[in-house]
A and B are shown apart, each in its own frame.
Chain A
């Protein structure tokens, strides 16, 4: 791939990116969230067409208008979310849409024999071609995806965060699979946040940052620290409101909190402070917010206020959650600004406290522009929608407000307004917890940063740590 560029709606996400992967090579692709890894991968897969640049496979230029064309050219992608039909057998999934036929009927025997052979080549004996996919573990389903890629004669296999959903011991099995692919002369493009895997597996690594190619180096010539610096090293140019000068009493305390995704969580949120939560995808950040809020409750541990067993209890105990997915979880899109802003108050039967005058003041306070109450929220911009979500919680003045990616999909102006508002809420005595994948935002806003990995708290960092420090904790040190 040479000189690849791509813009979405006028926003440049990739410019002049080049990438060369050799047969039999494991090539790692790294970068922060939003660095452009996924877009680059989707261009290779034929999901998006590049605005500029060329792709060559085995020296021949190719251009893909559709994923099928990329598939025919030998590119197979294994996404984080598998594309498997749970109620069909392994063999049926492998040959989905191109079943071998004999006399107009599906030739099951041929299909199963071929699948059996590929499984054997990968050394996979724990399941067979006739097993139903829904009975397989995540790791086994991953094997099915790989078998599917092999049966398509893939020359290039792209794996997107393949270990994100795997347990520790399954990672070893994956390593073995990747090495088998390598032995067959297949080029593997391996996308991962995890430094250890990159050092364990990859021959070379390419780092992307802000849609640009930073470097491509052999893994043997780079250290962990260097790699982290290459990924995140940038100036903190954005403005953030000043930090808390004093913090007050404890508003929320958890000790030994746990459920099926979180373990031994100890956390304190105090009035007046903003606590940032850092962690990679799948580290349990959103799960933590949902546990504190009562949406996916803790099943173990002590908590003050009393551990909520439902959202209702959480809300009643004075805990609010600004969810990550505004449209699916935050707003009733076809209702008015007023009806959305009053939703929590009404759910608690406290509408009386919020007269029409109060609502207008509130909408001005969150700087909804224009502060029109009768507008349906689906017609608002992302930033204004988020302000309505904030207003919704402010009507009941919760003691603790949890933010999950509060400024995702929000323009710069609204982002500053939201940051400012968060700081003012804290100054008024609210305890605030903020999850963000955007490190500069997290570092700029937080009074301290709690880092999660694999559902556990792995460290707490003082105000204004370096991005390297956060990333190193979140990704886990290389142990060697």
Chain B
């Protein structure tokens, strides 16, 4: 628990800083708008958390988001009646991509960095081939409601985010979650305790794929259809998870902190935006954060060890 606290402190400071520059942020509509904007990244971070805590990476989620959005637009093509069947199909697509990532990584023993990097390229290429660079078709109103509509004052995406968050926390408290973390910490010990480590890891990739599908559905409604919609999201998600104090290599960190990491990253981007700093700087900021967070984690270790003896 101690390790998750710093990220909430940082998040609070950033939120206050935003409120100082932009008082509208303190009103319900202003704050909910921020959460709505952050929802896809937070959901992706939750998915990415499962993979990272088990000791792997998922670099394919950005491309997967793009694929989801482009496929949705093409298949629905404005036809309201196709909304629900296509939503189902998108979730299945996310699940299948996760399944392939997981199976290749565990059963074929390809390092996940390579597996998911390959998957990222495969998906990007497929989208390009299919669309010729300019996506066709259009989303239905019903579909777009998830990303931009609301139930009374509360945006749908915020409700979906809450549901995903609760589900993620419950999963991490269940047998699956605890054995997954143990697998990330010491795969051999977990296997010798009867844990089906391959199955746990495959499931983690499937959850990441599903998270990408949900994020894609929200982004499609919110940001519209383009072949760039998911670009860079995989690195944002990994940065967010690391920022939340989750250790690369596995075995350590909480899913709530990972999601708070995503909110923090989004808050930081919002703040930069408010100060009129170029959006192009976002990549630089991410790069600095990911290196600094990992270095800080590595530095802390010796001190902790010394304190224990």
Contact = CB atoms under 8 A, between A and B. Distances in A.
Interface in B155-179: 175, 178-179
- In this complex, the interface size class of chain A, counting residues with CB under 8 Å from chain B, is 20 to 34
Contacts of A346: 175, 178-179, 195
Interface stretch (A91-99, A201-209, A330-338, A359-367): A330-338
Contact of A311 (B181, B186, B192, B308): B192
Given A335-B251, A351-B175, A329 B182 contact: no
B185 A343 contact: no
A392 B190 CA distance: 11
A312 B195 CA distance: 7
A127 interface: no
A328 B188 contact: yes
Contacts of B278: none
Nearest to A342: B178
A321 B186 contact: no
Contacts of A446: none
Question: In the complex, which of the residues A333, A343, A392 has the most CB atoms of chain B within 10 Å of its own CB atom?
Answer: A343
A316 B194 CA distance: 8
B186 A331 contact: yes
Contacts of A340: 182
Contacts of B192: 295, 311, 321, 323, 329-330
A334 B185 contact: yes
Given A339-B181, A339-B182, A347-B196, A332 B175 contact: no
Contact of A344 (B181, B194, B196): B194
Given A315-B193, A334-B252, A347 B179 contact: yes
B121 to A, nearest CB: 30
A347 B251 contact: no
A61 to B, nearest CB: 37
B183 to A, nearest CB: 8
A312 B186 contact: no
A347 to B, nearest CB: 4
Contacts of B182: 332, 335, 339-340, 343
B191 interface: yes
Contacts of A314: 194
A311 B189 CA distance: 11
A311 B191 contact: yes
A340 B179 CA distance: 9
A335 B196 contact: no
Nearest to A349: B175
A431 B251 CA distance: 34
A343 B252 contact: no
Nearest to A396: B194
A347 B200 CA distance: 10
Question: In the complex, which of the residues A316, A332, A333, A379 has the most CB atoms of chain B within 10 Å of its own CB atom?
Answer: A332
Interface in A333-385: 333-335, 339-340, 342-344, 346-349, 351, 379
A323 B192 CA distance: 9
B175 A344 contact: no
Interface residues of B, number: 19
Contacts of B195: 343, 346-347
A432 B13 CA distance: 58
B193 A392 contact: yes
Contacts of B252: 334
Contacts of A332: 181-182, 185-186, 189-190, 251
Contact of A315 (B189, B194, B251): B194
Contacts of A335: 181-182, 185, 251
Contacts of A331: 186, 189
Interface in B6-57: none
Interface string B272-309: 00000000000000000000000000000000000010
A379 B190 CA distance: 19
A415 B81 CA distance: 71
A74 to B, nearest CB: 39
Contacts of B181: 332, 335, 339
Contacts of B186: 328, 331-333
Interface in B32-86: none
A285 B179 CA distance: 29
A448 B252 CA distance: 44
Interface string A276-288: 0000000000000
B304 to A, nearest CB: 9
Nearest to A338: B178
Interface in B98-129: none
B189 A344 contact: no
A328 B189 contact: yes
A134 to B, nearest CB: 20
A167 B84 CA distance: 68
Contacts of B178: 339, 342-343, 346
Given A333-B186, A334-B185, A343 B251 contact: no
Question: In the complex, which of the residues A314, A331, A334, A392 has the most CB atoms of chain B within 10 Å of its own CB atom?
Answer: A334
12 contacts: A295-B192, A312-B194, A329-B189, A331-B189, A332-B181, A332-B251, A343-B193, A344-B193, A344-B194, A347-B175, A347-B195, A392-B193
5 shortest interchain CB distances as A-B pairs: A315-B194, A332-B185, A347-B194, A346-B175, A347-B195
Given A312-B194, A316-B194, A333-B185, 19 more contacts: A311-B191, A311-B194, A315-B194, A321-B192, A329-B192, A331-B189, A332-B251, A334-B185, A334-B251, A342-B178, A343-B179, A343-B182, A343-B195, A346-B178, A346-B179, A347-B193, A347-B194, A347-B196, A379-B308
Interface of B: 175, 178-179, 181-182, 185-186, 188-196, 251-252, 308
Interface of A: 295, 311-312, 314-316, 321, 323, 328-335, 339-340, 342-344, 346-349, 351, 379, 392
